[in-house]
Structure 1
Amino acid sequence: MNELKIHFENCYGIKKLQHTFDFTKSRVQIIYAPNGAMKSSFAKTLEDISLDKVSEDRIFSERVNHRSALVDNRDILKEEIFVINRMQDADFKEASTILANETLKTEYDAINIKLNDTKKEFIKTIQPYLGIKENVIEQTISDTFKTDIYSFIESRTTEINAIETPILTNIVFNEIFNDKVSKFLKEKSFNTKIKEYIAVYEKLVNENTTFFKKGEFNHNNADNVTKSLKDNGFFKAEHKVKIKDVEIGNIDELENVIKEEKEKVLNDPELTSKFNEIDKALNANNELRNFRSYVENNQDIIKEFIDLENFKKKLILNYIANHKSEFDVFAKLYTETKTRRNEITIEAKKEQAEWLKVLAIFKNRFTIPFKIKIKNQEDVILKNEPASLIFTYEDGASTKDLGGAEINKSLSTGEQRVFYLLNIIFQIETRKKIATDQLFIIDDIADSFDYKNKYAIIEYLKDIADDHRFKMIILTHNFDFYKTIKKRLESVNNWEGNLKAVKSASEVNLVPGEKQDVFPLLRKNFPTCEKSFISCIPFVRNLIEYTIGTKNTNYLILTSLLHIKPTNTAENIKETKEHTTGEILKIFNNIFGTTATLPDTTKKVYDLAISIAEEIEANKAIEPVLDLKSKLCLSIAIRFKAEEYIINKVTDVNFHTNIWSKETGKIIGQYKTEFPNNKKEIEIFDRVNLMTAENLHLNSFMYEPLMDLSEDHLLTLYKDIKELECTIA
């Protein structure tokens, strides 16, 4: 993999991006992309290729999309791309506890998600029959049949399919099997009444009916036969049935015969007497009044009370049989996916040695408040079970193991991201086995980590980069991380691999990044580059602040070149506009320990800063992308003009007397106090304070706020400030 040519149009906010990455010159390409430029969209588009998904513009979906990625003038293969997205929350769902490579894990999860969705639809179908909440139905089935729902499918499918005409579907499960009713039905005295009722019932069936016979053909069987004949159009086809020499030719006649036979039994005085005993027992318990009414209207079920556990099973099986199509979809999907799920588990088991290796790498490199181990190593090997992780916390002499769902509640967001990183390391180690070249797209992998773990990530990336099969494109919006990783990976990354994303209204361009660190370049070039000279003012001012202090005269002089200050007679410091480049050169040489010279030491620094800003504005079309020096110079000129405007407008004598103690924010605050209704001017000055405050006070992040700042925003602000000047004139 020597070269990667990408051409994206209308992909997740990227209007257009064309670039050729040359991996022969730099195996690692590092892109600094300010927020909103292209970083995540770039990674997402390449991830789509790896997943065989179509890319799109999420906002303007109607726009025509184009996406191509060519490796050495051929389409890149999806297997050659591995996208590492920015840190995400870890997923501790049961489906994800399997320790396998990402492809297997994704397939395993997809199967389980589809299976669970189908199970939910099936449960939703039978819920009205049970009269309980959907989320407890699966457990009810498991408790009734003493097995999990998938084993239930395997053991009961044949039995369910054999029920051609379901019965008892008018009986609501929870009307009988709730705590109060179940307890009552199991009482010895009531159980005796049930047995007496059944004995009389069976005697009457044998003695007083023409068609029914105990143990062979009772009224339930008759109801089933009647329903089946009716549903299948038996009588409409002009067929007849013959029952003990009685010929029946239509459904109404058959139903009447069955009804008469049932009434002979149920209305018999002896059976009625036994029913009244049951009814009296139910009526004596106020908590069972609803159940009493239910039994009264469904007297046929009394005989089922003698074996409640069997009655439970019979009800559930008949409910399901009444919706065979939904059950069949669920059962079929389970059967079809069972083999593949087992295969994935077996493949995952083979990779446990790799996980132990990854855990060792992880433990040696990263700082975390817990230890990680595989919970069921023996079961993984001997019983072919998926492996899961246990997190062990130690607090002095106390230890605590956490696993499964409780992990999701216990780990902090940062710790969950560390767990995500553990999965990423495993994916990378797995890909080391692949013989072909691999392209890694790494999207802000170190974001939100503390510095120790951030540097551990950088060192791990360096180890990866040392493998010639791996080519990397690292994207970040963090300039400090960009600068650090550029330095740490310089053995595999030269300056041609350092890029910056620049977004315009029509496209994104990847332009060369800084060849060297900013500060050494400023120190080296200030005698020959006027932009570098002006840019050194805040840099040297901060050096004096950190090494000597803010009372130093040179510090005060440079401060007056970042703010509009009058003459300071006490310190013998000129006003801002009177300082020359020759005066400032002496300060630079003193701090840098140099003997540099300038071709002209009489130029006023103020005038030089303004002239550079004017030149930058005039050359906007020629140089649309501003380097750091240009942004610094423009920011200084903006502040000069803004403060000068305000100082000329403010009338407060005390303000002018104490101007040396005023920073830009306080100067703008005074303007707001005197001119609260000047909304347009205040909006401009707020932008000045927002855009220039951090830019002109260097910190450990090395100009990151200025790097992120859009060229257009700075140039527009400079133009707005100039227009305010015109109103004074």
Structure 2
Amino acid sequence: MENLKVEILNCYGINKLVHDFDFSTNSAYVIYAPNGVMKSSFANVFDDYSKDRISTDLVYKTRVSQRKITAATGEEINKESVFVIRPYEKEFKTNRVSNLLVNQDLKTKYVDLHEKINDAKASLMKELKKVTKINKVEEEILSVFATQNSNIIEIIHNLENLVLGENLVEKFSNVSYKIVFDQKVIQFLATGDFKYQIRKYIEKYNDLIKNSMFLRKEFNHYHADTVQQNLANNGFFKAEHTININMNGSKQEIGSPAELEKLINEEKLKILSDTELQKIFEDIDKKISNAQLREFRDYLFENQELLVELENIHNLKRSVWISYFQKCSVLFLNLTKEYKESQDELKRIIEQANREKTEWENVIDIFNRRFHVPYTLKMSNKADSILKDEAPSIEYIFNDRTGLSESISEDLLLSVLSQGETRALYLLNIIFELECRRIQNLKTLLVVDDIADSFDYKNKYAIIEYLKELSDSDNFNIIILTHNFDFYRTVQDRINTNKFTHSCMAVKKVDSIDLINPGYKYISNPFADWKRYLNTNKAKLIASISFARNIAEHIGDDNNFNVLTSMLHWKNNSLQLRLRDIENSYKEIFKDMSALEIDDSDKLVFDLIFEVAEEIYAEQGEVGLNLENKVVLSIATRINAERYMIQRISNPTFVSEIRSNQTGKLFGKFKTDFPSEIEQIKILEKVNLMTPENIHLNSFMFEPILDLTEHHLKDLYASVNALIYTEELGSQYVAASGEEKPA
């Protein structure tokens, strides 16, 4: 995307913005936008575009909104190629992270092994559904056999010895799981009265077993049925073998399966038809006459022998499942075989995955290396995130100043971090997203909305260096938005932008917003620019008074400091100072300007200040950055405000004793003397709040004057002038000659 044309109309407070971004030679733009001009609104429009949402004006809803983001061909750019980075989004998580993890060869081997296991598992589960006639087979097995962190395949593997051991298939494989273990039945069986009846039934049953011809507690009819079935299935009688049954001390020879089955059934019937046992069963039957348990009641009537197992429902469940597994033994053993055969290979794959250096870890390294926070990050589930579909997990290692380290949860970490440190953690997810796009070779337009806001300087520079690396990549074009002027200047100097075409400032006009280039050198060092034009640009000549005064103060030049101070305040000697006095001070302060000659050197300084202020006031609309214009308006406004307050206070002794902060002290006195003049106090308070930062300018910080529009300063200038004329002072000031200078 070499060229991008942006057209925005009535979107989020932007009345109109049209701009062409040319990325053919430089991949990054940086835009300074004072608060409230367009920064967040611009980002909102691009965020809407990337997410295919409509952009509107939230306040003036009836206005027609329009948004066009097109390439040089006139076609809309790919929405997926746009990514907006907000100052902070707590919930932001990239959905591309798996692209940083894949070792395709390892993953393919891992998946192939698990597919064999899962195919064997699926076959077993399908057969178990037929046997049990329930759908949630896996959930039920887990509920009966699961221990902490166990999974279904490990459970089945651990049950192999039991399934190969005691044969329970004949005893329980035909139990109706759906009926016997229905939730309502389970709740009913847990009632105290029913449990008492069950115990009575079991005690009587065991008494009858003791008196049986050949059955015993240790060899009840279930065991007898199992023996009979096994002998028949294994051709015992077909081989003309016989067995001897101990019938109350006498041996009875049995030579056929039918004969053995008849003997067992007769003995079982004798026990279950016992009058007293039947009476207990009838008592139990009466207790389950509830309509919701009718199916269980009918089932129990046909399977009375099950009653002796109901005292311990959990053990019964385990036994029933073992019998089901035995019934499906071929599929069960095939699954355990696939599982066991795969373990050595899976272990080798997992060990290799843990040794792999992933792009995901590279992101963590970027974060740990660049950002200065009291914690470090570590990837804690590398193998699973590479081989499975699990999201990567981060371990947070908190480090205190003594060198102690502690692994803590993300929630706890966030509760102890500062705002800047918390936002640094947000950057981790942003880096993941960007590195994913880089790996995928996805051409991306980044719109970066004050990402460094609330960070300390170390981390701000870390962000700038990372943005620089992205701008050097062929995959990224970047539009960096900020309301922090120091960040703007630093980005302009450090990122490979064209300082004369790709560094912009947002200027708000009456019906539109323009992105203008203020001039690289002008922004990086405006004072050097002013010094070059002291004799040709009167606004820059006046604005430099504040800068020269600051230098005189710092170097201990009291004489020039006092002279220049009298040009910025209403002092006793202010009306006598002329341009030659500025020239002399500048020559002494600026050692490289010994040849400076200012035209019309006999002109009064205040004359020039107010002439230039009036010219600036008369100019229509915003005409660029113009720091010098704002300084001139601030100086003129403050001089007029001081003149007004001095004349109203009318206390020469009080004024003569002021040695510093003259505007503030005059304002304090004015409020004391004229507390009822609310409107005048409001205007003078604005002067006291708005002008000092603009006049006391230095090379490190002049953001307040940038955020304050020329329009606001013009309004304030006019308001102070109105005070003067309201009080019939008759002029802006009176020159030393006594000649009244018109407004």
Coarse TM-score class (shorter-chain normalised): 0.5 to 0.7
CA 1:165/1:397 → structure 2, altered by over 3 Å: closer, same or farther?
A: closer
Structure 2 distance, partners of 1:708, 1:150, is 61
| Residue 202 (structure 2) pairs with residue 195 (structure 1) | no
CA 1:98/1:145 → structure 2, altered by over 3 Å: closer, same or farther?
A: farther
What is the match of residue 78 of structure 1? Answer: 79
How many residues align structurally? 555
What is the match of residue 465 of structure 2? Answer: 459
Between 1:27-36 and 1:426-435, the stretch displaced more is 426-435
**Is this contact kept in 2: 1:349–1:384, CA < 8 A?**
no
Deviation of 1:536 (Å)? 0.3
Structure 1 distance, partners of 2:536, 2:479, is 35
What is the match of residue 19 of structure 2? Answer: 19
Structure 1 distance, partners of 2:418, 2:316, is 49
- Higher Rg: 2
**Is this contact kept in 2: 1:89–1:413, CA < 8 A?**
no
Deviation of 1:351 (Å)? 11
What is the match of residue 482 of structure 2? Answer: 476
**Is this contact kept in 2: 1:13–1:57, CA < 8 A?**
yes
| Residue 545 (structure 2) pairs with residue 537 (structure 1) | yes
1:43-54 counterparts in 2 under 5 A? Answer: 43-54=43-54
- Give CA-to-partner distance per residue, 1:126-163, whole Å, 9 cap, x none: xxxxxxxxxxxxxxx998995899999xx9xxxxxx97
Structure 2 distance, partners of 1:545, 1:142, is 81
The residue identity in structure 1 corresponding to 2:78 is L
| Residue 585 (structure 2) pairs with residue 587 (structure 1) | yes
What is the match of residue 251 of structure 1? Answer: none
Structure 1 distance, partners of 2:47, 2:355, is 27
TM-score (norm 2): 0.65
Deviation of 1:357 (Å)? 1.8
1:324-723 counterparts in 2 under 5 A? Answer: 353-381=358-386, 385-395=390-400, 396-435=402-441, 437-489=443-495, 491-516=496-521, 517-548=525-556, 552-566=558-572, 575-593=573-591, 594=593, 595-621=595-621, 623-625=622-624, 627-699=626-698, 701-723=700-722
**Is this contact kept in 1: 2:97–2:432, CA < 8 A?**
no
Structure 1 distance, partners of 2:506, 2:101, is 31
**Is this contact kept in 1: 2:569–2:639, CA < 8 A?**
yes
Structure 1 distance, partners of 2:367, 2:19, is 35
**Is this contact kept in 1: 2:52–2:79, CA < 8 A?**
yes
For the residue of structure 2 that corresponds to 1:462, the secondary structure is: helix
The residue identity in structure 2 corresponding to 1:412 is S
What is the match of residue 115 of structure 2? Answer: none
Mark the runs of 5 or more structure 2 residues left unpaired by the alignment.
Answer: 103-140, 156-176, 205-271, 299-307, 319-352, 729-743
Structure 2 distance, partners of 1:222, 1:199, is 28
Identity across matched positions, percent: 37
Deviation of 1:2 (Å)? 2.3
For the residue of structure 1 that corresponds to 2:405, the secondary structure is: strand
**Is this contact kept in 2: 1:565–1:660, CA < 8 A?**
no
The residue identity in structure 2 corresponding to 1:400 is E
1:253-332 counterparts in 2 under 5 A? Answer: none
**Is this contact kept in 2: 1:101–1:427, CA < 8 A?**
no
What is the match of residue 328 of structure 1? Answer: none
Structure 1 distance, partners of 2:142, 2:534, is 80
Deviation of 1:190 (Å)? 11
The residue identity in structure 1 corresponding to 2:727 is I
CA 1:436/1:425 → structure 2, altered by over 3 Å: closer, same or farther?
A: closer
CA 1:204/1:653 → structure 2, altered by over 3 Å: closer, same or farther?
A: farther
Deviation of 1:354 (Å)? 1.0
Structure 2 distance, partners of 1:36, 1:205, is 93
CA 1:68/1:199 → structure 2, altered by over 3 Å: closer, same or farther?
A: farther
Structure 2 distance, partners of 1:553, 1:384, is 76
| Residue 289 (structure 2) pairs with residue 219 (structure 1) | yes
Structure 2 distance, partners of 1:57, 1:522, is 40
Deviation of 1:370 (Å)? 2.2
**Is this contact kept in 2: 1:14–1:508, CA < 8 A?**
yes
- Give CA-to-partner distance per residue, 1:591-618, whole Å, 9 cap, x none: 2221211221111111111111111111
CA 1:523/1:204 → structure 2, altered by over 3 Å: closer, same or farther?
A: farther
Between 1:501-510 and 1:45-54, the stretch displaced more is 501-510
TM-score (norm 1): 0.67
- Give CA-to-partner distance per residue, 1:175-215, whole Å, 9 cap, x none: x99xxxx9x97xxx996577349999x999996899x8978
Structure 2 distance, partners of 1:308, 1:57, is 66
CA 1:524/1:223 → structure 2, altered by over 3 Å: closer, same or farther?
A: same
Structure 2 distance, partners of 1:207, 1:451, is 88
Deviation of 1:96 (Å)? 8.0
**Is this contact kept in 1: 2:85–2:446, CA < 8 A?**
yes
**Is this contact kept in 2: 1:25–1:497, CA < 8 A?**
no
Structure 2 distance, partners of 1:349, 1:558, is 70
The residue identity in structure 2 corresponding to 1:554 is N
What is the match of residue 321 of structure 1? Answer: none
**Is this contact kept in 1: 2:375–2:399, CA < 8 A?**
yes
For the residue of structure 2 that corresponds to 1:599, the secondary structure is: coil
**Is this contact kept in 2: 1:650–1:674, CA < 8 A?**
yes
CA 1:639/1:404 → structure 2, altered by over 3 Å: closer, same or farther?
A: closer
CA 1:408/1:626 → structure 2, altered by over 3 Å: closer, same or farther?
A: closer
Deviation of 1:361 (Å)? 2.6
CA 1:390/1:168 → structure 2, altered by over 3 Å: closer, same or farther?
A: closer
Name the Cα RMSD after superposition: 4.5
Mark the runs of 5 or more structure 1 residues left unpaired by the alignment.
Answer: 105-140, 156-161, 227-242, 244-302, 314-347, 567-574
Structure 1 distance, partners of 2:54, 2:648, is 58
The residue identity in structure 1 corresponding to 2:687 is V
Structure 2 distance, partners of 1:372, 1:223, is 57
**Is this contact kept in 2: 1:7–1:16, CA < 8 A?**
yes
For the residue of structure 1 that corresponds to 2:568, the secondary structure is: coil
For the residue of structure 2 that corresponds to 1:219, the secondary structure is: coil
**Is this contact kept in 2: 1:43–1:441, CA < 8 A?**
yes
Structure 2 distance, partners of 1:144, 1:640, is 88
For the residue of structure 2 that corresponds to 1:4, the secondary structure is: strand
Structure 2 distance, partners of 1:600, 1:205, is 133
CA 1:304/1:449 → structure 2, altered by over 3 Å: closer, same or farther?
A: farther
Structure 2 distance, partners of 1:415, 1:3, is 36
**Is this contact kept in 1: 2:201–2:277, CA < 8 A?**
no
